[in-house]
Amino acid sequence: MKYKRIFITHYGGPDELRIVEEECPEPKKGEVRVRVLAAGVSLPDVMMREGIHPETPRLPFTPGWDLVGAVDRLGDDVSGIQTGQIVAALPIFGAYTEYVCLPQSNLVHVPPGLNAAEAVSLILNYVTAYQMLHRTAKVKKGQKVLIHGAAGGVGTALLQLGRLAGLDMYGTCKSKDAGAVSDMGCIPIDYEHQDFVKEIQRLTGDGVDAVFESIGGSHIWLSRKTLRRGGKVVAFGLTGSLQGGRSTLGRQGSRQRYRAISNFGLYIALSWILPGRKRVVPYSIQWLMRLKPEFFRQDLMALFDLLKQQKIKPLIAQRFPLADARKAHELLGKGGVMGKIVLMCNGASIE
């Protein structure tokens, strides 16, 4: 049987995303073959395509951090799972495909009745938001937080989960997204025309308890200026290394996995040395999943339950067929996307 997947043979722009047709893979011992229904499109995918994400694999590779699909075939020594069952996974790369073989231990059961596009939105974006709020920042009701990129995939997840946690929220966004951000219970700050540090000082008086920092570089230190004593900057992103969906680090077309995070250690160390107890702490979904895999499973299941109860509602910016992965990357690279872009596979509806 033939199947299609997206393939990258050179680091670079969206044109490097090519669709290939091959013989369908067979699951090995302990593996499950999954018929992919939905794959998320995210900025880490773009950074991998450019060769600058710390998790960037060697060429050639298939991108895609997160997927939802149906169990299609079981390898040897697999039990407790049935064909047709809907599952979710965070493979980090390899999700832009019609079929993929994954270890059974990497799969999380998706409750029946959930929309595939909404379910896949929870895997990377909402787990990231949930763990930063409750495992890293350990927020409490009534605390003040600043969310950078509040209209994005992780940003809107933070807004919805922050609202459930009873937080006072401030979020940087473009002016065109201010209304939607405000509707989700957050005071918007137009980062294109306002100084967010001054605005936080004006709005709060003494600063915020936590900042969720997705830009990276020197922006981390600006975010630290908005903290009150004892606050935390949770640094989880490096979107400042992209402009228009392309790398700003030079030497395009090469694998530069650690260049964008080279300043992280300095900012973390300085935050512990300088007075004021204003700490910078890193967060990485993949490293927490590797160190504490039970946390990832527990948190994703909790989010599936919130989705089923309609307490959260992922924003789907746009659905594309798998063959239009290049268009999805082009759209994400332009910026201003509100919510999650999803690739729909194997005839799953793009409506």
**pLDDT tens for each residue of 286-341:** 999 999 999 999 999 999 999 999 999 999 999 999 999 999 999 999 988 999 99
What pLDDT is recorded for position 251? Answer: 67
pLDDT mean over 243-247: 82
Q: Give SS3 for 332.
A: helix
- In angstroms, what CA-CA distances link 234 with 166, 181, 278, 296? 19, 20, 11, 18
* Residue 247 backbone dihedrals phi, psi, to 5 degrees: -65, 140
pLDDT mean over 83-94: 98
What pLDDT is recorded for position 174? Answer: 93
Q: Is pLDDT above 70 for 131?
A: yes
Q: Find where tokens 């049987």 sit.
A: 1
Q: Find where tokens 């999650």 sit.
A: 340
Distance, in Å, from the CA atom of 213 to the CA atom of 18, rounded to the nearest integer, reads 32
Percent with pLDDT over 70 in the chain: 95
Distance, in Å, from the CA atom of 212 to the CA atom of 145, rounded to the nearest integer, reads 8
Domain boundaries, the chain: 2-120+293-344, 122-288
Q: Give SS3 for 309.
A: coil
What pLDDT is recorded for position 262? Answer: 65
Distance, in Å, from the CA atom of 233 to the CA atom of 221, rounded to the nearest integer, reads 9
What pLDDT is recorded for position 307? Answer: 98
Domain 122-288 has CATH 3.40.50.300: no
What pLDDT is recorded for position 197? Answer: 97
Split at pLDDT 50, 70, 90, the class of 234 is very high
pTM: 0.94
pLDDT mean over 159-179: 97
Distance, in Å, from the CA atom of 10 to the CA atom of 253, rounded to the nearest integer, reads 7
| Least confident segment among 70-79, 190-199, 271-280, 323-332 | 271-280
Do residues 28 and 75 touch, judged by C-beta distance below 8 A? yes
Q: Is pLDDT above 80 for 223?
A: yes
pLDDT mean over 75-100: 97
Do residues 126 and 138 touch, judged by C-beta distance below 8 A? no
Split at pLDDT 50, 70, 90, the class of 243 is confident
**Residue range 2-120+293-344, CATH number:** 3.90.180.10
Strand-pair partners of 233: 211, 280
pLDDT mean over 62-74: 98
**pLDDT tens for each residue of 297-312:** 999 999 999 999 999 9
**Residue 44 preceded by cis peptide, ω within 30:** no
What pLDDT is recorded for position 69? Answer: 98
- Taking the CB of residue 18, how many other CB atoms lie within 10 A of it? 14
What pLDDT is recorded for position 32? Answer: 98
Q: Which residue has the higher pLDDT, 157 or 255?
A: 157
What pLDDT is recorded for position 239? Answer: 78
Fold agreement (2-120+293-344, 122-288): no
- In angstroms, what CA-CA distances link 7 with 56, 185, 342? 14, 40, 17
Q: Is pLDDT above 70 for 71?
A: yes
Angle between helices 43-50 and 325-334 (to 10 degrees): 100
Split at pLDDT 50, 70, 90, the class of 254 is low
Q: How far is CA 221 from the centre of its chain?
A: 22
